[in-house]
Structure 1
Amino acid sequence: EPTSQQPPPSATGAGEHVEGFNPFAAQGRAGAVPTHQAVSGLGNPPAAMSDELFRKQEELERKAQELRMREEELNRRQHTLKIPAPNITQRPHNWPPLPSFIPIEPCFYQDIEVEIPVQFQKTVTVVYYVFLMYVLALCVNVIASLFYMIFAGGPVGQLLLAIIQLCLFSPCSFLFWFRPVYKAFRNDSSFNFMVFFFVLFFHSLFTLVQTLGVSSYACGWINTIETFSVSIPIALIMLISALCFTAALGGMVYALLRVHKLYRGSGFSIDKARQEFTNGVMADRNVQAAASAATTAAAGAAFQQAAQGRF
């Protein structure tokens, strides 16, 4: 019968569901939720990236600060060692301090508090005072020699010699023993220490002769004592000169001992001075050219003498 051959409605619906079933659609719907979750999870990386950027920015700022600190330290060392940095003007010369009406400009820049390290400033100041004391002794010696010549029958040659000593030894003392010790402490130079010791030692012996007043060489102790029997006022003036020379001599000896103590305690040596001389003076092109010219001239003269002797 037709009615018995029709499938039941539930079976028909089930068949339609079976025929319309797509197993991949379920997987697609099931995977839709994680897809939305993954998409929603993309909001976290920007926060992590911003933290990383902040850390990098802080690191860059820290490195920039370190570079600024190093630059300041380099500038400070250049200022201490007086190394000419680019685009920095040199300090104007301020020594000797001459009056403005004199048409001569100062020759050197000198500032102990600026150029000399703190631990050596007192020593350099002491040496500078010794230099000033010696110049004062030379000035007093000129005055005493003048009075000695006029009122006590002193020799004219002693006055002329006193004037020559004042004009010659004042700048030479500054250039050949004070300036070297100044540059030695400023630049940490062993060679300048050697120059200071060598020159000041022999200058101390010379000052000893001036202090004694041997052979009317200066107004020292010997001719001062002899003048007391001729004129006491003139002898007292000469006594001031002898005392000034004595103080200058004592200051020179003290300066030698004090600087030598610092020199030995700082690790300087003759080998270091020799190396500085080789790297500094002998490496100069002008010195090399002069040495080469002198060698060539000596070789040419020797060759000419040999040729003349042969023929």
Structure 2
Amino acid sequence: MSLNQNPFSDPFADPSVRAAAAPSASANVNEDFNPFAQRNQSTQPAPTHQPALSGGATSAVHGDELFRRQEELERKAQELRRKEEELERRQRGTAPTGGATNGGAAPAAGGKPHNWPPLPAIIPIEPCFYQDIEVEIPVQFQKTVTIVYYVFLTYVLALFINVFASLFYALFGGGSIGVFFLAIIQFILFAPCSFLFWFRPVYKAFRNDSSFNFMVFFFVLFFHSIFTLVQTLGISQYACGWANALETFSKSVPVALLMLVCAVAFSVAFAGMVFALLKVHRLYRGAGFSIDKARQEFTNGVMNDRNVQAAAGVAARGAAGAAFQQAASGRF
């Protein structure tokens, strides 16, 4: 609208005003437009998805289980490494770098504390040997050595029962008192000798791969099994076996039953000895051992012993001195 136009004229007469007021121009305007809606929508925080409580608890339980299993595997791995290190030290013959002995027991040849026999602390006697089948014996022979050890324990148990059976046999079964004293002597003598002369050799044979110790085991256990058969039969006064136990039923049934228990124990020990002989012999033949190898090991072992070397040196010097004196006396 120009300046010289009449101010009292109709304002809608202006073409520009009519164009602005036309419906086509106002159609593009959003009547429902809310200028605060976008602001409220932008300021509202986005929803977050929280895990359910049950799911979180389950995850925690699984995590604790995995952690416990991992600790158990690590503990087993450490135990396995410890046994392997002890076995290597034993094979090399070196002492461990540290560690205290158990109960003040004297250390073994490889620096390990003696642990056999497992005597209680109230007895003022220390163990004499170190023995650990799981550490010193190869894995493929551990079961065999364990069986032989149980055979030895069964025989010791039979000797122990024989002491009480012989006592009651002498008192109430018509037996002589000498049977009881003989049972005590057998328990005191045969229990340690069985360990020293046939179990300990087979233990060292599998530990050191020694053919000589195998021979000692076969020789001693063969004759010991024959004597155990005599004890089992009970045909003499050496032990309470099947024969004298059956005879005692006519005099005292309780004593006869106790003697039968002793006879069963000797029978199990005898069967175990025969089984141990056969099983060890099968492994012995399969490993390629022989009498010549045992003889060679014995010779090398005797000649390498310091006491034998010292005795041989003294004998050689004495023989040389005697020969020199004889030659000198013959010259003059």
TM exceeds 0.5? yes
Distance 1:130 1:86, change over 3 A: closer
Of 166, 177, 182, 1:145 maps to: 166
Report the residue type matching 1:83 in the other structure: G
Counterpart in the other structure of 2:225: 204
Q: Secondary structure at the match of 2:147?
A: helix
Q: Describe the superposition over 1:248-301 as per-residue Cα deviations: whole angstroms up to 9, x where unpaired.
A: 000000000000000011111111111111111232131244467789999xxx
Counterpart in the other structure of 1:214: 235
What is the CA-CA distance between 1:182 and the residue it aligns to? Answer: 0.4
Counterpart in the other structure of 2:89: 79
Counterpart in the other structure of 1:14: none
Is 1:98 paired with 2:109? no
Counterpart in the other structure of 2:137: 116
Matches within 5 A, 1:148-159: 148-159=169-180
Of 275, 299, 321, 1:278 maps to: 299
Q: Secondary structure at the match of 2:277?
A: helix
**Structure 1: runs of 5+ lacking an equivalent:** 1-71, 299-311
Aligned residues between the structures: 228
What is the CA-CA distance between 1:92 and the residue it aligns to? Answer: 0.6
Distance 1:147 1:75, change over 3 A: closer
2:89/2:96 contact within 8 Å kept:
no
Give the fraction of aligned pairs with identical amino acids, expressed as a percent.
72
Distance 1:153 1:84, change over 3 A: same
Farther-moved stretch of structure 1 (95-104 vs 75-84) = 75-84
Distance 1:262 1:207, change over 3 A: same
Counterpart in the other structure of 1:229: 250
1:95/1:110 contact within 8 Å kept:
yes
- Could you list the structure 1 runs, at least 4 aligned residues long, displaced by more than 3 angstroms after superposition: 74-77, 85-89, 288-298
Distance 1:294 1:139, change over 3 A: farther
**In structure 1, distance between residues paired with 2:177 and 2:124:** 32
What is the CA-CA distance between 1:233 and the residue it aligns to? Answer: 1.2
1:80/1:114 contact within 8 Å kept:
no
Please, what is the CA RMSD of the aligned residues?
A: 2.6
Is 1:161 paired with 2:182? yes
**In structure 2, distance between residues paired with 1:145 and 1:236:** 12
Report the residue type matching 2:264 in the other structure: L
Q: Secondary structure at the match of 2:198?
A: helix
Distance 1:101 1:272, change over 3 A: same
Farther-moved stretch of structure 1 (81-90 vs 277-286) = 81-90
Report the residue type matching 2:184 in the other structure: I
1:140/1:241 contact within 8 Å kept:
yes
Is 1:264 paired with 2:285? yes
**Structure 2: runs of 5+ lacking an equivalent:** 1-81, 100-110, 320-332
Report the residue type matching 2:272 in the other structure: G
| TM-score normalised by structure 1 residue count | 0.68
**In structure 1, distance between residues paired with 2:313 and 2:243:** 51
Q: Describe the superposition over 1:74-126 as per-residue Cα deviations: whole angstroms up to 9, x where unpaired.
A: 96763352622585671111100000111111011111011110000000000
| TM-score normalised by structure 2 residue count | 0.64
Report the residue type matching 1:108 in the other structure: F
